[in-house]
C-alpha cells in the first residue's frame, strides 16, 4: 500500500492547487467545475502514486508529462474542459497497460488533433500500434520493431486515401448507385471477365510455373523475362499492340470478325487484355511457391509409385497451394483493376474501371466516386474471403517444423 504520509501530502497538494484556483479574484473555473476537477485530479494522483509504488520513477515522469500534454492540448488550446476530464480519467486508468495506452493516444491524436480525418487516421494508427506493441512484446530487437513501425506508418499513409474515400459516401448513395442497371452491368462485366481471366491464367500458368521450377534450367531466364514483359510494359502499350494485331483493319482482326470471333470491343477482348496483364503475377507467385517444395519430397513420392502428374497433384500443388492462392488473388485483383489496355482495346462492353473514368469525365469526382467505392468494396470483400480461404489450405513445407512436447 501507499504510505499514508505520501498519500496525505499528495492529496493535500492537489487540494491546495484547486483552492488557489478557486480563490483567484476572477476565478477561471466555476465552483462546481472546480470541485469535479478536484475529484478527477485526486483519482489521477492516486493512479500516479500506484506507479510510484511499483518503483518506476521514470514512468511516473512519463505519466505526468502525458497529463500535461493532455491539459495543454484540451484545456489551454481547445478549451474543452469536460472532454479533458473524461479523457484524463481514461488516461490514468489505462496508463499501466501499454497496449491500451497506445490505442488511447491514437484515439486522442485522431479524434482531437486530426478531427476531420478521425476514422481514417485512427484505424491505421491503432493497427500500427497493436502490431508494433506485439512485436516489441515478443522480444524482437529494437531495430526490427523500429523498421516495422516506420514501414507500417508509410503503409498506413497508403491506406489513408482509401479509408478516407470509404467514409465519404453514405450507404444510401451507394445503394442508389448500385441499383442503377448500367452500374450493375459494368460491375458484372468487370467481375466476370476478371474471374474468367484468372481461371485461364490458372489453367496454363500454374503448370508452366511448375515446369519452369522443375524442368530444364537452361532457357529458364529467357522464359522468365518473357513472363515479366507485361509487368514492364505501360498498359496503354499493351492496348495499342493488341489493337494493331487484332483490331479492326488488321488482317487477323478482320478474319476473326468474319468468323464471328472478333475480340476488339468485345467481352472476350476484355478477358484477353486481362489475361495478358495479370498472368505474370500468378506465374511468379506460383514459381516462388513451387520453389519452396523440396525435391526430395517429390522423389520420395515417386519411389512410392507416384507418376509425375500425381506428384504434381498430390505433393507439389497442395504444398504450394497457399502461394498459388496468393497468386490467384493478385492476378484477379490486377485483372479487375486493369484500365489502360481495356480502355484502348475493348472499351465496350463497359467494365467497372472504364466506367469510373467515363463518369469522372462527365460528372467529376462526385459522380464517379460511388462507383469507385462499389468496386473497392467488392474487391475488398473478395480479398478478405480469399484470405480466409488461405487458412484452409495446407501450410507450405517448413524445414524446421514446430515441435511441441
Would you tell me which residues interact with other proteins (CB under 8 A)? Answer: 294, 296-297, 299-308, 310, 314-315, 318-319, 394-395, 397-398, 401-404
Residue (of 39, 92, 97) closest to 67 by Cα position: 92
CB 314 to other proteins: min, Å? 8
Residue that the C-alpha cell 476572477 belongs to: 26
C-alpha cell at 152: 507500417
Residue that the C-alpha cell 442497371 belongs to: 181
Question: Which residue lies nearer to other proteins by CB, 315 or 379?
Answer: 315
Question: Which residue lies nearer to other proteins by CB, 310 or 366?
Answer: 310
Region for residue 50 given its phi and psi (left: phi exceeds 0; alpha: psi -120 to 50; beta: otherwise):
alpha
C-alpha cell at 288: 516462388
User: How many other CB atoms are there within 10 angstroms of residue 224's CB atom?
Assistant: 15
Residues near 334 by beta carbon (within 8 Å), at least 6 away in sequence? 274, 277, 278, 281
C-alpha cell at 192: 466476370
Concatenate the DSSP letters of all residues of 101-167 into one string: HHHHHHHHIIIIISGGGHHHHHHHHHHHHHHHHHHHHTT--HHHHHHHHHHHHHHHHHHHHHHHHHT
User: How many other CB atoms are there within 10 angstroms of residue 255's CB atom?
Assistant: 12
Question: Which residue lies nearer to other proteins by CB, 190 or 321?
Answer: 321
Residue that the C-alpha cell 467488392 belongs to: 378
Question: Which residue lies nearer to other proteins by CB, 69 or 395?
Answer: 395
Cα–Cα distance, 63 to 97 (Å, whole number)? 12
Question: Which residue lies nearer to other proteins by CB, 153 or 397?
Answer: 397
Question: Which residue lies nearer to other proteins by CB, 139 or 401?
Answer: 401
CB 389 to other proteins: min, Å? 16
CB 244 to other proteins: min, Å? 46
Question: Which residue lies nearer to other proteins by CB, 3 or 394?
Answer: 394
Cα–Cα distance, 317 to 268 (Å, whole number)? 29
CB 395 to other proteins: min, Å? 7
> 368: cis peptide before it, omega within 30°?
no
Question: Which residue lies nearer to other proteins by CB, 79 or 398?
Answer: 398
CB 322 to other proteins: min, Å? 11
Exposed, middle or buried, 127 (CB in 10 Å: 0-12/13-18/19+)? middle
Cα–Cα distance, 40 to 372 (Å, whole number)? 48
CB 349 to other proteins: min, Å? 42
CB 218 to other proteins: min, Å? 16
CB 139 to other proteins: min, Å? 23
Residues near 23 by beta carbon (within 8 Å), at least 6 away in sequence? none
Question: Which residue lies nearer to other proteins by CB, 248 or 394?
Answer: 394
CB 301 to other proteins: min, Å? 7
Residue that the C-alpha cell 513501425 belongs to: 149
Amino acid at each position: 500500500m501507499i504510505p499514508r504520509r505520501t498519500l496525505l501530502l499528495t492529496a493535500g497538494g492537489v487540494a491546495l492547487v484547486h483552492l488557489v484556483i478557486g480563490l483567484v479574484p476572477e476565478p477561471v473555473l466555476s465552483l462546481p467545475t472546480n470541485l469535479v476537477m478536484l475529484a478527477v485530479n485526486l483519482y489521477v494522483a492516486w493512479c500516479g502514486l500506484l506507479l510510484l509504488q511499483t518503483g518506476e520513477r521514470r514512468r511516473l515522469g512519463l505519466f505526468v508529462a502525458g497529463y500535461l500534454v493532455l491539459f495543454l492540448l484540451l484545456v489551454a488550446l481547445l478549451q474543452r474542459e469536460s472532454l479533458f476530464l473524461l479523457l484524463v480519467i481514461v488516461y490514468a486508468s489505462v496508463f499501466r497497460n501499454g497496449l491500451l495506452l497506445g490505442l488511447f493516444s491514437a484515439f486522442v491524436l485522431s479524434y482531437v488533433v486530426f478531427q476531420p480525418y478521425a476514422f481514417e487516421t485512427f484505424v491505421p494508427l491503432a493497427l500500427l500500434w497493436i502490431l508494433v506493441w506485439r512485436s516489441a512484446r515478443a522480444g524482437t530487437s529494437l531495430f526490427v520493431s523500429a523498421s516495422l513501425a516506420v514501414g507500417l506508418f508509410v503503409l498506413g499513409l497508403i491506406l489513408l486515401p482509401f479509408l478516407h474515400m470509404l467514409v465519404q459516401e453514405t450507404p444510401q448513395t451507394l445503394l442508389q448507385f448500385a441499383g442503377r442497371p448500367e452500374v450493375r452491368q459494368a460491375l458484372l462485366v468487370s467481375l466476370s471477365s476478371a474471374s474468367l481471366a484468372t481461371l485461364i491464367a490458372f489453367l496454363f500458368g500454374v503448370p508452366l510455373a511448375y515446369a519452369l521450377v522443375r524442368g530444364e534450367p537452361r532457357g529458364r531466364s529467357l522464359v522468365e523475362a518473357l513472363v515479366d514483359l507485361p509487368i514492364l510494359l505501360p498498359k496503354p502499350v499493351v492496348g495499342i499492340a493488341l489493337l494493331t494485331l487484332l483490331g479492326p483493319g488488321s488482317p487477323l482482326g478482320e478474319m476473326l470478325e468474319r468468323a464471328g470471333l472478333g475480340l476488339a470491343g468485345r467481352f472476350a477482348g476484355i478477358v484477353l487484355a486481362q489475361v495478358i496483364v495479370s498472368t505474370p503475377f500468378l506465374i511468379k507467385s506460383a514459381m516462388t511457391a513451387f520453389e519452396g517444395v523440396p525435391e526430395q519430397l517429390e522423389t520420395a513420392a515417386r519411389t512410392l509409385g507416384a507418376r509425375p502428374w500425381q506428384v504434381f497433384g498430390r505433393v507439389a500443388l497442395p504444398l504450394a497451394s497457399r502461394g498459388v492462392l496468393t497468386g490467384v488473388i493478385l492476378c484477379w485483383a490486377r485483372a479487375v483493376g486493369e484500365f489502360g489496355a481495356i480502355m484502348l482495346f475493348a472499351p465496350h462492353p463497359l467494365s467497372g474501371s472504364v466506367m469510373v473514368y467515363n463518369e469522372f469525365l462527365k460528372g467529376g469526382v462526385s459522380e464517379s466516386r460511388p462507383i469507385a467505392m462499389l468496386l473497392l468494396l467488392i474487391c475488398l470483400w473478395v480479398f478478405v474471403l480469399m484470405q480466409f480461404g488461405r487458412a484452409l489450405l495446407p501450410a507450405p513445407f517448413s524445414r524446421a517444423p514446430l515441435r511441441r512436447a
